[in-house]
Amino acid sequence: MRISKAYWLWGLFPSKETNVLNKIKANVQSVLKSPVFETHITLTGPYLKSNNLFLDKLKTFCDSKNVVLLDINGYDFQQEKFKSFYISIKNSKHLKKLRKNIYELNELDLDIENNYSPHISLSYGNHEIKEKKELISKLPKFNKQIRLSKIALVEVDEDINLWKILESFDLN
């Protein structure tokens, strides 16, 4: 069962990368209508609550970590509302280690190998497979690395399409 109201940690990108991703996302959403959300990669969650102790640990953690390079696999889609159309990201050892370290801040167990499909969503919704396949053929090739430069705490309420960034911390 999916938890629709919770807190999540997102990875955010430097402005140059965000601008490129936002242009691609705008092209996608002109075809595949979607709720509005910030361009991001989901790192961890859901958390049912957040507190200042966790935020302090997260800030200290981000101060000590370098920018992470993400390898792009290409465009992909699923028949899931929140994975409708996206840029697939390689689940690299650096990304796995980042996630593991974040989960350790809150002393939570993490199954690194399973149930995590890193991606940058371009559209949420229930769209036709045919539309998605046609769209992929029309989008620019995007297969370089992208920098993850911030980690943000986000309040999510999917029932009302709310994705609100509460705090964000820069990686070195």
Residue-level pLDDT at 120? 98
Token pair 């969503």: residue = 121
Whole-structure pTM value: 0.92
What is the CATH number that goes with domain 5-170? Answer: 3.90.1140.10
Residue-level pLDDT at 111? 57
Beta bridge partners of 165: 154
Residue-level pLDDT at 128? 95
Domain residue ranges in the chain:
5-170
Reported as a single tens digit per residue, the pLDDT across 100-150 is: 999 888 776 555 556 889 999 999 999 999 999 999 999 998 778 999 999
Reported as a single tens digit per residue, the pLDDT across 14-30 is: 999 999 999 999 999 99
